[in-house]
Chain A
């Protein structure tokens, strides 16, 4: 059986992502920069960009790995500029497509071709299962949001992220159908938004400065299927200009299994 993914009400639609798969080695995707994906500095948030990057990477890696399927192993994002309006474009290309691993590099640019972020992702190649989506027929322009789909509240709020203890960087998020990936687990790119919320809360408290998350090194260890997912954060360094934290994400509904570990960097706004 092949499952239709994403379902009608889903973050991929509401973020209004559009895709064009150029060939088996390159893809492009676009995301409108709306207030709902921007932070309090008015610029697109790293956690929204990780979602864009993860989705375009997943699609391209899945093509590169055909007929097998893939699971995201890690994702890194480094922001180098800001985008406050218009659209951002992610351009992904395959660096390596091997028997066990696919590695991609992704540039994110704004409408003036200025680099907003650089990202990398790698994927473990897995044997295809019946539940994996069939992507063989997806072509350029075939993945575009339906009319009316849009975020109406900030992305973090729509995900359901709740800050339980800002100083300790403890946040919680449910696993809902809106945020599940094609494997039924919390979407890997949206994990970036959760890690960002946890690290930013802890680093702003530690630094007493309005730091903005600019870098994420995310390592995926297992799926977060049950939820709620909860973070544990350790501040490694913090001053008025920058901060570094490690964040672990646990599935509280699955015996506190660690699903993700990350190192997060925050700096003064890129303004």
Chain B
């Protein structure tokens, strides 16, 4: 479990081959001023559960890295506990597709988000991670006050978007910026009220700082459509592109 997923306070359980369920409580440090959970942590939960689901489906030879996450939010996550469900839709030679969904059990099990995570299958240099099956990953971080998400990220507003340092706390086991953090800064760059996101991970963020810049594309009756570009400034390259609809 990474520091990112510990901070997001999510537990995952493999309930059967090809199916992962997750659970997370509403956490004050992950909420917006209106009391609803921020979209970034919810996307992190979807990416985490979907990625693990796809990774387990790629064993014994390979493991996965997220290549794109598309999700639609249909209700705010206000109550909790939240249930995350991930299930494999397709396992191919090069990629794995998983359906992901998030429900608010405290709101009559209302659907909060529905999406799909696509992951590329890779063969890690030192082999894929070893897991005891069925897999159970429990967040052991003691409950208690935590810094607010934006403070924890050391987020800085810049012209048209946001910037974070590539702190070691934000890296995944492969040493690159966690996909959930990328999704989080995409949401924050777009204004923090995302209802629809399509996020393509194009290259790893290794050096930092990492910037997300939002450009409006159009206005509609359900919000503003924006293009968000993520760059690893230290590596001088675009690392992700997203299309975001936000209120």
Specify whether A and B are partners: yes
Complex interface: chain B residues within 8 A of A237 (CB): 74-75
Segment 81-113 of B: residues with Cβ below 8 Å from A: 89-90, 92, 94-95, 97, 99, 111
A89 within 8 A of B: no
Q: B46 contacts the other chain (Cβ, under 8 Å)? A: no
Please pick, from B95, B217, B218, B221, the residue contacting A100 in the complex, using a CB distance under 8 A.
B95
Provide the residues of chain A in CB contact with B163, threshold 8 Å.
none
Contact B220 A214 (CB under 8 A): yes
A138 on the B face (CB < 8 A):
no
Give complex CA distance A242, B72 in Å: 13
Quick check: A78 and B114 within 8 Å, CB to CB?
no
Residues of A within 8 A of B243 (CB): 76, 78, 118, 120
Beta-carbon contact of B222 and A236 below 8 Å: no
CA of A103 to CA of B121, assembled, Å: 16
Closest to B203 in A: A96
**B109 shortest CB reach to chain A, Å:** 13
Residue A124 interfacial (CB < 8 Å): yes
Q: Which residues in window 40-76 of A have CB below 8 A to B?
A: 73-74, 76
Shortest CB distance B152–A (Å): 30
Interchain CB contact under 8 A, B200 and A236? no
Within 8 A of B (CB), among A237-254: 237, 241-242, 244, 246
A261 to B94, CA, bound (A): 19
Q: Mark A207-228, 1 if CB is under 8 A from B, else 0.
A: 0000000110101011000000
| Contact B238 A267, beta carbon cutoff 8 Å | no
B184 within 8 A of A: no
Interface SS of chain B: strand
Q: Which residues of B contact A261 (CB under 8 A)?
A: 89, 99, 116
A217 touches B70 (CB 8 A): yes
Given contacts A73-B118, A78-B225, A219 and B97 within 8 Å (CB-CB): yes
Interface pair B89/A78, CB less than 8 Å apart: no
Is there an interface contact between B218 and A242, defined as CB atoms closer than 8 Å? no
Please determine whether A74 and B89 come into contact, CB atoms closer than 8 angstroms. no
| A265 and B72 contact, CB distance less than 8 A | yes
Task: Name the B residues within 8 Å of A78 (CB-CB).
Answer: 196, 198, 217, 225, 243, 245
Least CB separation from B99: chain A residue: A261
Assess the B200–A263 pair: CB atoms within 8 A: no
B115 at the interface (CB under 8 A from A): yes
User: Would B72 and A122 count as touching, CB distance under 8 A?
Assistant: no
Residue total for B at the interface (Cβ-Cβ under 8 A): 37
**Interface residues as binary, B225-241 with A (CB distance below 8 Å gives 1, 0 otherwise):** 10100000000001001
A96→B221 contact, CB < 8 A: no
Residue in B closest to A103 when the chains form the complex, CB atoms: B200
A120 and B200 contacting across the interface, CB-CB below 8 Å:
yes
Mark out the residues of chain B between 123 and 147 whose CB falls within 8 Å of any chain A CB in the assembled complex: none
Given the contacts A221-B89, A263-B72, A265-B72, A270 and B200 also touching, CB distance less than 8 Å: no
Q: Is A196 an interface residue (CB 8 A)?
A: no
A270 to B227, CA, bound (A): 19
Find out whether the CB atom of A118 lies under 8 angstroms from the CB atom of B225: yes
Q: Are B99 and A105 in contact (CB under 8 A)?
A: no
Chain B residues with CB under 8 Å of A222's CB are: 90
Tell me if B5 counts as interface (CB < 8 A to partner A).
Answer: no
Q: How far is the CB of B50 from chain A (nearest CB, A)?
A: 12
A sample of 26 inter-chain contacts (CB < 8 A) reads: A78-B217, A78-B225, A80-B217, A80-B219, A101-B67, A101-B95, A103-B200, A105-B241, A115-B217, A115-B218, A120-B200, A124-B92, A214-B220, A214-B222, A215-B245, A217-B72, A236-B74, A237-B74, A237-B75, A241-B221, A246-B114, A261-B89, A261-B99, A265-B72, A265-B196, A265-B222
Q: Nearest 8 CB-CB pairs, A to B?
A: A80-B218, A100-B94, A237-B74, A217-B70, A76-B198, A96-B202, A242-B222, A221-B90
Given contacts A125-B94, A263-B116, 15 further A-B contacts (CB under 8 A): A76-B243, A78-B198, A80-B218, A95-B202, A100-B95, A101-B67, A118-B217, A118-B225, A120-B198, A120-B243, A215-B196, A215-B245, A217-B198, A221-B90, A244-B114
Contact surface of B with A, Cβ cutoff 8 Å = 67-68, 70, 72, 74-75, 89-90, 92, 94-95, 97, 99, 111, 114-116, 118, 120-121, 196, 198, 200, 202-203, 217-222, 225, 227, 238, 241, 243, 245
